């Protein structure tokens, strides 16, 4: 059962916490009793998130950090340990979307950029988080994939390739560490009301009439799924996608 303050005394690291799903999750983690370290590349937005998390009564630290830089990721994990002494949970959430157009019009530069952040960056985060979790003998990681990590859509093939890769990393790493107390799952949001969806909306790839619940998801609704997967209530769940999409992939 998901208890009140289900992450009490836990130390949580979140990437891409300066807006959207990452910010909402930082607030939800704080509300669930965790100490929160989060990263992003924008200082003013980082300070805004930090204030929102502290409003929940939680301790919180913002670290300016780019997931595509190995040195930054290593330093981010080290700062977490130096600040709060351990790392219990990680939410690898930072991600970008390429311009909306069919594959033959996509540039190699945009493809490489999406892969560098959504896949290589997430790989680096897992690598250094897991190194720390192995020394502690426990940990829970949630990676942000997407419904685009399970099915296709027209217009954003590089993005969906990256989110399928996130599922591959999630499932295989879950098997690597299943006996060592580290659970690794994915959250797979559908159309969620954030800056990213605003950008995709302008490319008109999203049609709400296709969503059985008839509305966009809210970042706070994704956040609750992440809190659950990080909590002990999910103690027998590893290597799985948790789809939060208003029923989109049900048909
Ligand atoms: P968003 O644009 O508000 O958030 C993305 C966050 O990632 C931002 O805070 C951004 O600064 C950060 N980021 C980007 N590149 C980074 C880098 N190199 N280093 C560190 N941080 C970086 O949009 P969002 O919707 O909250 O996106 C969060 C995640 O959810 C992404 O991985 C996205 O692919 C995924 N997602 C979103 C939707 C949706 O409909 N909004 C659906 C499925 C999956």
- Alpha-carbon 113 to chain mean position: 18
Q: What is the dihedral of CA 177, 29, 217, 241, to 10 degrees?
A: 10
pLDDT classification of 206: cutoffs 50, 70, 90: low
Q: Which of 4-8, 125-129, 215-219 has the lowest mean pLDDT?
A: 4-8
- pLDDT of residue 53 exceeding 90, the answer is yes
Between CA 62 and CA 76 the distance in angstroms is 10
pLDDT tens for 170-188 read 999 999 999 999 999 999 9
Q: Is the CB of 176 under 6 A from ligand 1?
A: no
Ordered alpha helix ranges (H), the chain: 20-31, 43-55, 70-84, 108-115, 122-136, 157-177, 195-202, 219-230
Report how far ligand 1's centroid is from the alpha carbon of 92 (Å). 10
pLDDT, position 209: 85
Between CA 200 and CA 194 the distance in angstroms is 10
- Alpha-carbon 50 to chain mean position: 17
Between CA 234 and CA 99 the distance in angstroms is 36
Decide if 166 contacts 149 (C-beta within 8 A).
Answer: yes
pLDDT tens for 118-135 read 999 999 999 999 999 999
Structure token digits, residue 203: 């490319």
Between CA 40 and CA 94 the distance in angstroms is 8
What's the first-to-final CA gap in the chain, in angstroms?
29
The pTM of the full predicted model, rounded to 2 decimals, is: 0.97
Between CA 170 and CA 192 the distance in angstroms is 21
Atom of ligand 1 nearest to the CA of 145: 44
pLDDT tens for 98-116 read 999 999 999 999 999 999 9
pLDDT, position 202: 62
Between CA 96 and CA 50 the distance in angstroms is 22
Measured by CA distance, the residue closest to atom 32 of ligand 1 is 95
Cβ count near 105 (within 10 Å): 9
- pLDDT of residue 203 exceeding 60, the answer is no
Domain spans of the chain, in order of start = 11-250
Measured by CA distance, the residue closest to atom 24 of ligand 1 is 20
- Substitution site in 94, 114, 125, 159 for ligand 1 pocket (most atoms within 8 Å of beta carbon): 94
Report how far ligand 1's centroid is from the alpha carbon of 4 (Å). 27
Q: Is the CB of 130 under 6 A from ligand 1?
A: no
Q: Which residues pair with 62 in a beta bridge?
A: 38
Give the residue-averaged pLDDT of 132-148. Answer: 98
pLDDT classification of 198: cutoffs 50, 70, 90: confident
- Substitution site in 13, 15, 16, 161 for ligand 1 pocket (most atoms within 8 Å of beta carbon): 16
Catalytic machinery residues? 159
Chain length of the chain: 251
Give the CATH superfamily of 11-250. NAD(P)-binding Rossmann-like Domain (3.40.50.720)
pLDDT classification of 197: cutoffs 50, 70, 90: confident
């Amino acid at each position: 059962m998901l208890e009140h303050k289900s992450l009490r005394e836990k130390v949580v690291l979140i990437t891409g916490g300066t807006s959207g799903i990452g910010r909402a999750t930082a607030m939800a983690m704080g509300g669930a009793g965790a100490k929160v370290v989060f990263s992003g590349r924008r200082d003013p937005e980082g300070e805004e998130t930090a204030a929102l998390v502290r409003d929940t009564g939680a301790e919180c630290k913002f670290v300016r950090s780019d997931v595509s830089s190995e040195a930054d990721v290593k330093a981010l994990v080290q700062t977490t340990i130096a600040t709060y002494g351990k790392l219990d949970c990680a939410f690898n959430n930072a991600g970008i979307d390429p311009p909306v157009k069919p594959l033959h019009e996509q540039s190699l530069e945009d493809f490489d950029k999406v892969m560098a952040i959504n896949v290589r960056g997430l790989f680096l985060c897992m690598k250094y988080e897991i190194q720390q979790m192995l020394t502690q003998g426990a940990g829970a990681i949630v990676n942000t994939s997407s419904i685009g990590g399970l099915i296709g859509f027209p217009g954003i093939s590089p993005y969906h390739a990256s989110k399928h890769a996130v599922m591959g990393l999630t499932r295989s790493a879950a098997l690597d560490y299943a006996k060592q107390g580290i659970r690794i799952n994915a959250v797979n949001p559908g159309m969620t009301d954030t800056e990213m969806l605003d950008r995709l909306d302008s490319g008109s790839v999203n049609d709400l009439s296709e969503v059985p619940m008839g509305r966009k998801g809210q970042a706070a609704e994704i956040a609750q799924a992440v809190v659950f997967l990080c909590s002990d209530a999910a103690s027998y769940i590893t290597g799985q996608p948790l789809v939060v999409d208003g029923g989109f992939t049900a048909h």
